[in-house]
Structures are given as C-alpha cells and as structure tokens.
C-alpha cells in the first residue's frame, strides 16, 4: 500500500490539485460531474470569495504516488462562532479515495483546529450555508445538481470511525414538473390569489441590485433561526448577486408582497451541472462556447430552487404556505413552457416540518439526504 502524504495548499498550482482530487476519488462513478475549474478556483481564492473576510482557512490535499487522492479544509468562521458559540471549528470539501486517506485528512484538520483552541469540529461545510453543505448519505444513484455536493457510500462509515456523529440531516426534494398540482394544493394557492392584500411579481432586472438586497433581507430574516445558518455580509450579498446574475431570469424569480411590502421570494435556476457534465471541468478550448450556447439557446431541462424565504410573521400561518405554493406553481409553469421536466428543491433541514409539509403537499418527494457531523475535541 502506498504511503499517504499530506500537502498544505499555499498557491494556485495547489488549488488546482485541490479541485482535481475529485477525479481520482470518483473515478468510475457514472453520476459524478467534474465542476468547472474556473468556478471552483474562484470559490477557493481569498481574493475572490468574501467568506475569507470573516474566516481563517487551511486547505490540504492527500497524495499517493504523486497523485491527489483526497482533500479537506479546516476553517474558523468568526460569524459562525458569534451565532453558534465560541470554540466551534468547521471542516469541509471532504473527499477521500479510501479509509486510510480519510483518516489522515480528518486527523490533519482536527489537529489544526485543536491547535487554535477549538473544542468542537463540525462539517462538512464547504464553506457555508450559501455554498455546499454536508455529504451525501442517500441518493448516490443520481448526479449532483448545481451547488450541491456528491459523496461516496463509504463516507458515513469513515467519518463515524473518526468519532464524528450526526449533527443534522438535510433533504433534497424532487418534483416531476409535468405532473399537475394536487387538488388540495391548488385550493391553497387560490387563497393567496384571491387575497387582495397579496400580489406576486417577477424580479425587476432593471433594479437588479436593489431587488437582490430585498430578497436577501427576506432570506436573512426567514432563515435566522435555522440550524447552522450565518447571515450574509454586505460584501457576500454583492458577490452573490454578481455570481447569480447570469442565471437569474424574471420568469423564474418571484417576489410576493403583502400590502406593498416584499414578504416572500423564490429563486429558480437552471441545473448548470446538466449543461457541463460532458466538459470534464474544462472551458478551453471550446467548452465556454458550448456552455454559452446551451445556457442561451438550450431547453431548461432541469431546474433547482436554491433560495426561498417567507418573513417570520407569515411562516406559521396558512397565508405563508399559500404564498410559497403560489410562487412554486407559477415558476413551475414558466419553466415547463420552456422545456423543463425535473425540479429539485432544497436543501431542507430534516426538522423543518413546515417547509417539508408544503413540499409534500405539492407532490415533491425526498430523493437525497445530506449529513453534517460533529465531534467534541479533547
């Protein structure tokens, strides 16, 4: 057996190895989609990702015979500590070819966190709730959609062997977009449609940055008590708006207003992974042209709802549920008119009973489950 060596990442060349580690890990997995190198590099670079402004981060790659066979990050997020308690450290981007690699990587991340006084180790957070969260524990037979992690069936056992136990599960729901809404759900939507105090509109792209600020204000409030959530900083809002603008379309970005005040929103985006799965993570020499053509001229095919929120005062009442269902119904019709057949909604915390009830009411079903783990550090 070849010896595992660990290399800490300190330069651009190392970041490329960090991204490419998944090639060996998922070799032979027909459902793995190698992400675009350019997009992943931007997510990992301190000068590109504003997450680094409030977090200390270390990255490592595991190698065997000179080839990357795994990776991990360790990070201390000051805002997460303010929200969820001191001495909390995270790990993320966990990928490993075998149990030996997994153990070596986890020991490396744990040691780094302990050296800095952390008492709890939690993850995978890659890096935050706005990015990829958890590792897949159910649904390996399906490819990952855009901005969602994949995983190997062995990961759960390898993480537990290191003393990490379940902290929280999250679910992804799928919806057959060609299936008509159940009769009861249609009646609930009528409640919102008939309420003269409630209106729904598309996002105004001419006021894009103002609209994004409104949407994220709703999101920060709606999610403020959700487990693990850390509010966006102003720079993260600006960065996120810039990143999402190319895939935001008015016909699938809905805002509900109550007496003229924005109180709920839903963003639907195309599953970019479905557009890039044959590119092997490369935009050159012709990949960029293929992506551009597919995004501008191709059918919608597959969609994902990554962001949705309803202000707190409506979350427990029937009108909040009705607005959520209404936005889903309208967005569903709009994307189906453009060729979409599959939708993913999530992730949703396993104990978010209200949202789970809404999704099941409209015909969604859980098809993937992700897990975040935690360990007390001695």
What residues does each domain of the chain span?
Answer: 5-170, 175-370
> The dihedral of CA 199, 202, 206, 212: what is its sign?
positive
pLDDT at site 46:
95
- Mean pLDDT value of segment 66-80: 96
Which token pair is 215? 């949407």
pLDDT at 127: 94
Higher pLDDT, residue 249 or 297: 249
Cα dihedral 347, 159, 273, 11 sign: positive
With a cut of 90, say whether residue 57 has pLDDT above it: yes
Strand partners, 309: 265
pLDDT at residue 156, rounded to an integer: 98
One fold for 5-170 and 175-370: yes
Q: Which band of pLDDT confidence, cut at 50, 70 and 90, is reported for residue 299?
A: confident
pLDDT at 305 over 90: yes
* Residue-level pLDDT at 1: 57
DSSP string, 175-219: EETTSPPPHHHHHHHHHHHH-TTEEEEE--GGGHHHHHHHHHHHH
The structure's pTM equals 0.94
Average pLDDT for residues 29-54, to the nearest whole number?
95
Summarize the confidence of residues 48-77 as an average pLDDT: 96
Lowest mean pLDDT among 54-58, 224-228, 308-312, 333-337: 224-228
Question: What does the pLDDT average to over 250-279?
Answer: 94
Per-residue pLDDT reduced to its tens digit, 110-168 = 999 999 999 999 999 999 988 999 999 999 999 999 999 999 999 999 999 999 999 99
Cα torsion at 322, 323, 324, 329 (round to 10°)?
A: 90
Q: Inform me whether the pLDDT recorded for 378 exceeds 90.
A: no
Say how far apart CA 192 and CA 203 lie, in whole Å.
19
Higher pLDDT residue, 234 or 266? 266
84 vs 102: CA distance, rounded Å: 27
Strands 5-8 and 261-270: unpaired
Amino acid 192: pLDDT: 92
Q: Buried (b) or exposed (e) across 207-240, using 16+ Cβ within 10 A?
A: eeeebbebbbbbbebbbeeeebbbbbeeebbebb
The dihedrals phi and psi of 115, each to the nearest 5 degrees, come to -60, -25
**Which tops the pLDDT comparison, 325 or 238?**
325
Fold of 5-170: Aminopeptidase (3.40.630)
Rounded Cα–Cα distance for residues 299 and 296 (Å):
9
**Res. 289: pLDDT tops 80:** no
Q: Which residues contact 188 (CB under 8 A, 6 or more apart)?
A: 318, 321, 322, 325, 361
CATH superfamily, with its number, for domain 175-370: Gcn5-related N-acetyltransferase (GNAT) (3.40.630.30)
For residue range 166-214, list pLDDT tens digits in order: 999 999 999 999 998 899 999 999 999 999 999 999 999 999 989 988 9
pLDDT band at 339 (very low <50, low <70, confident <90, very high): very high
Does the pLDDT at position 242 exceed 90? Answer: no
Rounded Cα–Cα distance for residues 334 and 194 (Å): 21
122 contacts 88 by C-beta, under 8 angstroms: yes
What is the pLDDT confidence band of residue 246, given thresholds at 50, 70 and 90? confident
Q: Which pLDDT score, from 0 to 100, does residue 298 have?
A: 64
Query: Of 352, 373, 338, 124, nearest to 249 (Cα)?
Result: 338
State how far the Cα of 138 lies from the Cα of 247, in Å rounded to an integer: 28
**How far is C-alpha 295 from the geometric centre of its chain's CA atoms?**
20
């Amino acid at each position: 057996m070849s010896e595992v060596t660990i290399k800490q990442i300190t330069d651009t060349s190392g970041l490329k190895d960090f991204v490419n580690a998944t090639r060996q890990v998922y070799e032979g997995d027909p459902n793995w989609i190698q992400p675009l190198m350019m997009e992943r590099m931007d997510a990992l670079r301190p000068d590109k990702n504003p997450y680094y402004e409030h977090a200390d981060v270390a990255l490592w790659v595991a190698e065997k015979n000179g080839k990357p066979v795994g990776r991990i990050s360790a990070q201390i997020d000051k805002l997460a500590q303010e929200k969820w308690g001191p001495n909390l450290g995270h790990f993320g981007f966990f990928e490993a070819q075998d149990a030996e690699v997994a153990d070596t990587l986890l020991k490396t991340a744990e040691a780094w966190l302990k050296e800095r006084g952390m008492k709890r180790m939690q993850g995978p957070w890659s890096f935050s709730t706005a990015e990829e969260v958890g590792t897949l524990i159910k649904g390996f037979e399906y490819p990952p959609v855009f901005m969602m992690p994949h995983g190997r069936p062995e990961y759960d056992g390898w993480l537990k062997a290191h003393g990490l136990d379940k902290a929280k599960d999250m679910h992804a729901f799928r919806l057959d977009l060609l299936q008509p809404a159940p009769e009861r759900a249609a009646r609930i939507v009528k409640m919102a449609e008939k309420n003269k105090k409630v209106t729904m509109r598309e996002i105004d792209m001419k006021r894009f940055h103002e609209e994004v600020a409104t949407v994220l204000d709703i999101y920060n409030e709606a999610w403020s008590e959700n487990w693990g959530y850390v509010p966006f900083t102003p720079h993260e809002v600006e960065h996120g708006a810039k990143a999402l603008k190319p895939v935001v379309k008015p016909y699938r970005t809905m805002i509900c207003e109550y007496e003229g005040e924005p109180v709920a929103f839903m963003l639907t985006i195309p599953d970019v992974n479905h557009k890039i799965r044959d590119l092997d993570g490369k935009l050159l020499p012709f990949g960029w042209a293929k992506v551009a053509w597919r995004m501008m001229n191709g059918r919608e095919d597959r969609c994902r709802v990554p962001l949705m929120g309803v202000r707190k005062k409506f979350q427990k009442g029937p009108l909040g549920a009705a607005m959520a269902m209404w936005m889903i119904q309208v967005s569903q019709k709009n994307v189906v008119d453009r060729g979409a057949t599959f939708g993913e909604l999530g992730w949703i915390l396993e104990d978010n009973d209200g949202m789970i009830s809404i999704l099941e009411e409209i015909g969604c079903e859980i098809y993937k489950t992700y897990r975040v783990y935690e360990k007390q550090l001695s």
